[in-house]
Amino acid sequence: VKGKQETVVPGQPRFDLSGGAVCLNFINTLDDRPTEAKETLNSFSDLVRFCEQSGILDPAQVEHYLGRNSVAPEQARAGLERAIELREALFAIFTAVVNRSEVSADALQTLNELSQEAGKRSILVERNRRFAWAFADRFSCDAVLWPIAQSAVDLLVLDRLLFVRTCSSKTCEWFFFDTSKNHRRRWCNMKVCGNQAKVARFYRRQKNA
Ligand SMILES: [Zn+2]
């Protein structure tokens, strides 16, 4: 039994963000892909919670998206559908990266469309004599996906792309960006998969002894 996304404790972070990049954490929201594949984004609010925890939405956006009557149900459904479409495109792209295989043109197009949309909405704002990038139209349902698409583009153009890897647990295979010193990280989360492997090794050794 894995103690990751499914543990929902009020006031506690709900998603395990061990992936080291927003786009990789987003791919990991479909948990245990190689085995039972558990969906953790079952509603538009789940998606908003993920984005909130990832720090890619401001409080006003979160309040807007989760507020009563502020997002029509059909808009929320469409927004979630687009999110899943983006997530699976990212999964296809990063799987190809990890396997060094050909990248699906469809997946790349999905990412490109959202990234272009994000680019078109990007505006420079000034607050207290500091400049920052922001999004115009930031309360539309697709706005939650723009920073995710940008995170993927940013990561894909990095020359350290070979540090994108998947967890060594055969039931997990979560994606992560290995920023460890020797680049030998094997587990999505040492406390979860790494620890299970350690425990398994320990018992094997005991049995053999
Ligand atoms: Zn793992």
With a cut of 80, say whether residue 169 has pLDDT above it.
yes
Segment 126-140 shows an average pLDDT of: 92
- The per-residue pLDDT for 1 is 40
Bridge partners, 132 (sequence order): 125
Report whether pLDDT(62) > 80.
Answer: yes
Distance CA 97, CA 164 (A): 8
Contact 17, 23 (CB under 8 A): no
DSSP 8-state assignment for residue 162: G
Query: Measured in whole angstroms, how far is the alpha carbon of residue 83 from the centre of its chain?
Result: 11
pLDDT digits (tens, 9 = 90+) for 1-50: 455 554 555 666 789 999 999 999 999 999 999 998 999 999 999 999 99
pTM for this structure? 0.88
Ligand 1 centre and the CA of 177: distance in Å? 13
Would you state the pLDDT for residue 105?
Answer: 98
CA 70 / ligand 1 centre spacing (Å): 37
Q: What is the reported pLDDT for 192?
A: 87
- Alpha-carbon separation of residue 31 from 35, 116, 132, 133 (angstroms): 9, 28, 34, 32
CA of 19 to the centre of ligand 1 (A): 10
Contact present, 19 and 176 (Cβ < 8 Å): yes
Mean pLDDT of 103-129: 96
CA 192 to ligand 1 centroid distance, Å: 7
